[in-house]
Amino acid sequence: MNELVQTKEKRSYDAELSMADILAVATAEFADKGLAGARIDAIAAATRTSKRMIYYHYGSKEGLYLAVLEESYRRIREIETRLNLEDLAPEDALRKLVAFTFDYQHENEDFIRLVMNENMHRGQYLAQSKTIHALNVPAIAAVRSVYERGVKAKVFRQDIDPIDLHMSISALCFFNVANRHTFALVFGQKLDSPAALRTRRDSIVEMIVRFVRK
């Protein structure tokens, strides 16, 4: 009996490991080539599984693409919950949140490219997700908590919608990754050096803080 239980547990663990492997490879494939250009054959060849098993786990290429989107959002939201913003004064917490968003998006270009690709599809695949709204609730809750604490402490002004604030933070950090190549070429600027990134991050943090400061 114990041997049977151990065998089942091993199979379950292997399935989870296989799915994680598939998602990691598929993330890079979809980010690089988009939904239309990505190939299940290429994903299978780069993983320790088969094309048949990919379809078994995810149903279709579109199903895998949606799973990749959900996992990408889940990952950033999970890390956000570990920032311990509640331990900081409101302005310090806001600075930490903005800096984290900037750093995460800079270090995870695949996430930016996936979001850009899904926007080209007008969100039609993400709209099919049963979990995407729940996944993003913590992000707004974190912004709302920091902002409301700042209002209560009389350091933030009172007329800001937390969702609008979240959008402003995302927009500034997102642009820095999504448009850096064209912006650098058009204006002859080197935007990817450590010094340039520090300057840009500090500028974005300061813009957001000044926007909400009373």
Query: Are 172 and 207 in contact, with CB atoms under 8 Å apart?
Result: yes
How crowded is residue 144: how many other Cβ atoms within 10 Å of its Cβ? 15
The DSSP symbol for 46 reads T
Alpha-carbon span 161 to 170, nearest angstrom: 14
Q: In this predicted structure, what is the pLDDT of residue 14?
A: 73
Low-confidence ranges of the chain (pLDDT < 70): 1-13
Query: Are 79 and 104 in contact, with CB atoms under 8 Å apart?
Result: yes
Instruction: Give the torsion sign (CA, 177, 181, 184, 186).
Output: negative
Instruction: Give the torsion sign (CA, 80, 85, 86, 87).
Output: positive
The CATH number of the structural domain formed by 71-212 is: 1.10.357.10
The two three-digit tokens of residue 179, written as one number: 């448009």
Kindly list the domain boundaries of the chain, sorted by start residue. Answer: 1-59, 71-212
Query: Are 98 and 204 in contact, with CB atoms under 8 Å apart?
Result: yes
Instruction: State the CATH architecture for 1-59.
Output: Orthogonal Bundle (1.10)
Q: In this predicted structure, what is the pLDDT of residue 127?
A: 97
Q: In this predicted structure, what is the pLDDT of residue 17?
A: 86
Q: In this predicted structure, what is the pLDDT of residue 6?
A: 46
Phi, psi angle pair for 71, to nearest 5°: -65, -35
Per the confidence metrics, is the pTM higher than 0.85?
yes
In which element (H, E) is residue 157 found?
Answer: none
